[in-house]
Structure 1
């Protein structure tokens, strides 16, 4: 799982926070959908998190009777400013 790129305008504005996402993990581990469950309080950060998760995350799918199944999960993405 890759960390989303920090939006430059958010960095300049000092925006930081954690986005809680609901993510649909498909049988092949790819992300079928992602949506904000709890906002960071900054729409740019929320959008960057959703965009990155949909674009590049590959996860371990859930299983039922030993076979992969799609399922929803929750994940946190944190944007933290560093010096």
Structure 2
């Protein structure tokens, strides 16, 4: 299976450092899970980014924006050779109760 550089913990750190909760979504109290689908190419780059499950236009756009910033992943391997892999990740948008 493909892997984000440094593993799942680094992926979470990447998301937390790069996601900017859209002001309109915050003002409208919009929350939810966005599932982003994409293909990890043999060189580790991401292609064919798309929303599989959305949570509103602003949150969907922010999830896609951040995934487009992603560094190259470690590609999936099959029989010792890198292969293209379809993959999806959930990105949760939750407002704190401050």
Q: Report the TM-score, using the length of structure 1 for normalisation.
A: 0.85
Higher strand share: 1
Q: Is the 8 A contact 1:33 1:54 kept in 2?
A: no
Segments of 5+ residues of structure 1 without an aligned counterpart are none
Equivalent residue for 1:75? Answer: 89
Equivalent residue for 2:45? Answer: 30
RMSD between aligned alpha carbons? Answer: 1.5
Spell out structure 1 runs of 4+ moving beyond 4 A. none
Q: Deviations over 1:25-66 (max 9, x none)?
A: 1222221221011111x1110111011101224433211111
Q: Report the TM-score, using the length of structure 2 for normalisation.
A: 0.74
User: How many residues are matched?
Assistant: 82
Equivalent residue for 2:21? Answer: 6
Segments of 5+ residues of structure 2 without an aligned counterpart are 1-10
Equivalent residue for 2:78? Answer: 64
